[in-house]
Amino acid sequence: MLNRAPAAPGENRYGEPIGAHEQVQRRTMFVLIITQVIGTIGVGIAPSIGILLASEVTSSETWAGLARTASTLGAALMGLPLGTLAARFGRRFALSSGWWTAAVGSIILVGAAQYSLIVPLFIGLLLIGAGSAVSLQARFAATDLAPHHRKGRSLALIVWFGTLGSVLGPNLGVPGEVLSRHTGLTVFAGAFLIAGVCLALAGVLVFVWLRPDPLQVLQETVAAPPAATGPRQGRIRLIVAELRTNYAARYALIAILTAQVVMVSIMTMTPVHMAQQGDSVTLVGITISLHIVGMYALAPLVGIIADRLGHRWAIVMGIVVFLASLVIGGLWPTDIGWLIASLILLGVGWSFINVAGSALFSAVISNETRASSQGGVDALANLFGATAAFAAGPLLAVSSFSVLSIIAIAVLVPLAVLTARFRPVSLTPTERQIPDDSDH
């Protein structure tokens, strides 16, 4: 490692005046947006073509369902390690490592698809889940140098651009067919090869372009050493200790986890419910696509609302929209028009709570546990989502879609109570970590 000259007073080690981060933030946002779009094209293949491949290779709906869980589990397992890497070596190293891990998983899936191999199928889907974890961590990277009054908008913008890749990813079967005709690969193998190239390219771009590293600039600015240099148990203890004393961070975490459980439990069971009614695969696809639009299309607006009105009011709006969705789904579960409206609102409600909760968490968490805590949040969200999806199946089997909606409403009650009691946080310039323009 090259030795750097000591920073001059009022400057960080990059020679930048402390507080003058606008240019670095603009570059960070540009790099994150480009890599988010390219990388999520590869990530978007897992919940669509990955499931089709699992059905073909295993010839079992049960194994196909477990294969989807493997991808979600991979995202959960990678959340905290990626946060730890970011804390020790910066966002650039963590994000590029995650994209490259997902690329390796995608290449393994090329072999699994070409030769119908079950074990490589699960390994590949587990590794490609790292791409989902990186995509989530990128939204936090966008807030590292963002002024307090723009954290919500910065985070939401990265979430929104990730939608482009998520929409394109499931359609890689089309270029996969073209590649198949010219190479002899199967359609699925060709699709995963394209995904692997996108994931690897995203890793290269973020590794080369994300300079200076936004998290390292932040650490220099607040004169705090990088966190998470000790053993994993020590890191986890630090995170737990902070959550015990940091009221706002604890509230934000509960909001994120609640939104994930409610959204995933209903969303994953809607196709099953529609199939039981005899609805076509095309109609199921349209419904889920509109749900995804609801999740991401309004993200920039949600970020602005969170910044201007406050995180608490954005979460209140999300709870109200969630309730509207669940009431509609519970009262008219067999009416396809109302069901589609319910799924769109379900996505919008998730967007309000997830974006506002993530922005609040990023704003109030201390620098000492910042990156590791953010990785832990993503890991927990994926684990809670996977658990909710697993539990929703038996619940639907022994009851009905209406009962599932009622249970989801019950899950919202604790968050609603906490939100009613939550005292909005007013951060001082020091606590904001990055000074606002108004502070100068």
Does pTM surpass 0.95? no
Both structure tokens of 398: 């022994």
What is the CA angle 268-254-151, rounded to 5? 100
Q: Say what the alpha-carbon torsion angle 197, 203, 206, 208 is, to the nearest 10 degrees.
A: -90
Count of CB atoms situated within 10 Å of the CB of 413:
11
Q: Say which residues have a Cβ less than 8 Å from residue 170's Cβ, sequence separation at least 6.
A: 44, 45, 47, 48, 49
Is 380:257 a contact under the CB 8 Å cutoff?
Answer: yes
Is 299:159 a contact under the CB 8 Å cutoff?
Answer: yes
What is the CA angle 299-303-307, rounded to 5? 170
Map residue 392 onto helix, strand or coil: helix
Task: State residue 3's pLDDT score.
Answer: 41
Per-residue pLDDT of the chain (440 residues; tens, 9 = 90+): 334 444 444 454 444 444 557 889 999 999 999 999 999 888 877 666 776 777 788 776 667 667 667 888 888 889 889 988 998 899 999 999 999 999 999 999 999 999 999 899 999 999 998 998 999 899 889 999 888 788 889 998 998 888 777 667 666 667 878 888 888 899 889 989 999 999 999 999 999 999 999 998 888 876 544 444 455 555 677 778 878 888 899 999 999 999 999 998 898 788 778 878 887 767 876 787 788 888 888 899 999 999 999 999 999 999 999 999 999 999 999 899 999 999 999 999 999 999 999 999 988 888 778 888 888 888 888 889 888 877 887 888 888 989 999 999 999 999 999 999 988 765 543 344 444 433 33
Same fold, 16-226 and 231-421: yes
Task: State residue 337's pLDDT score.
Answer: 92
Question: 16-226 domain in CATH 1.20.1250.20?
Answer: yes
Task: State residue 47's pLDDT score.
Answer: 63
Is 343:287 a contact under the CB 8 Å cutoff?
Answer: yes
Is 306:359 a contact under the CB 8 Å cutoff?
Answer: yes
Question: Hey, what CATH class is 231-421 in?
Answer: mainly alpha
Domain ranges of the chain: 16-226, 231-421
Strand partners, 38: none
